[in-house]
Structure 1
Amino acid sequence: MILGKCPYCGGNVISQKLTIQGQKVNLYTCEHATKERDINDDYVFSATSSCRFRVYSNTFLRWNKRSLSEYEMKQLLKEGQIAVRLHGRKGTSEYFKYVIPDPEYGVSILWDTEVA
């Protein structure tokens, strides 16, 4: 499923369903960010990859957000930022922060900016 345009190269961002270590997750990746197995059996970007935009749906799990949905990814690609709801360590407190695309990590949380 095509979610939008890559913020870096303009290619299509697609959604793929994967099972990683028994967990079902979505991978949102640019069509130009292909990976392959190398001689050490590790996944690395292929020689033909011209982009590195990849985001796993469980990327915010450490802040008790179970999944970044396809709808949220569409909004992020369309608007350049979205507000997400995160939770404290014990899951009792909740707060909102902006998320933006990041060339190195896929997405980043803007910790210093308050959501109005």
Structure 2
Amino acid sequence: MILGKCPYCEGSVIARDFVAQGKKIKLYTCEHAQKVYDESESFVFTAESTCTFRVYSNAFLRWNKRSFSQYEMKKLLQDGQVTIRLHGRKGTSEYFKYVIPDKEYGVSILWDEEVEKEEEKV
């Protein structure tokens, strides 16, 4: 399924089902960012890859957000940022932050930016 245009190379970003450590997750990847296992069992980009945009749906698990949804990825690709809901350590408190594309990590949270109240509906 095509979600939008890559923020770096204008290729199509697609969603794929992926299994990591026995759990099903989504991988959002640019069509020009292919990875394979090499001789040393490392997961590396192929020589034909011209882009590195890849985001796993569990990227925000550390902040108690179980999944970065396809809707959130579409909005990120369309608007250049998206508001996500994160949770405190015990899962009781919640807060909202902006997420933007990041060349090195796929996506980054803007910790120093406050989310405006009307955008907290996502």
Q: If the TM-score is normalised by the length of the shorter chain, which range does it land in? A: over 0.9
1:59-115 Cα offsets, whole Å, 9 max, x none, are: 000000000000110000000000000000011110000000000000000000000
What TM-score, normalized by structure 2, do the two folds share?
Answer: 0.94
- Structure 1 match to 2:60: 60
State, as a whole percentage, how many aligned pairs show the same letter: 70
Partner SS for 2:77: helix
Instruction: Give TM-score, length-normalised by structure 1.
Output: 0.99
Match of 1:5 in 2: 5
Shift of 1:41: 1.3
In 2, distance between residues paired with 1:41 and 1:99?
A: 32
4+ runs of 1 displaced by more than 4 Å?
A: none
RMSD of the alignment, in Å? Answer: 0.5
- Matched letter for residue 16 of structure 1: R
* 2: CA distance, partners of 1:12 / 1:84: 23
Q: Which residue matches 1:108?
A: 108
CA distance in 1, matches of 2:18, 2:51: 20
Structure 2: runs of 5 or more not aligned = 117-122
Aligned residue for 2:96? 96
Work out the CA distance in 1 between the residues paired with 2:7 and 2:17: 21
1:15 match = 15
Partner of 2:34 in structure 1? 34
Question: Aligned residue for 1:51?
Answer: 51
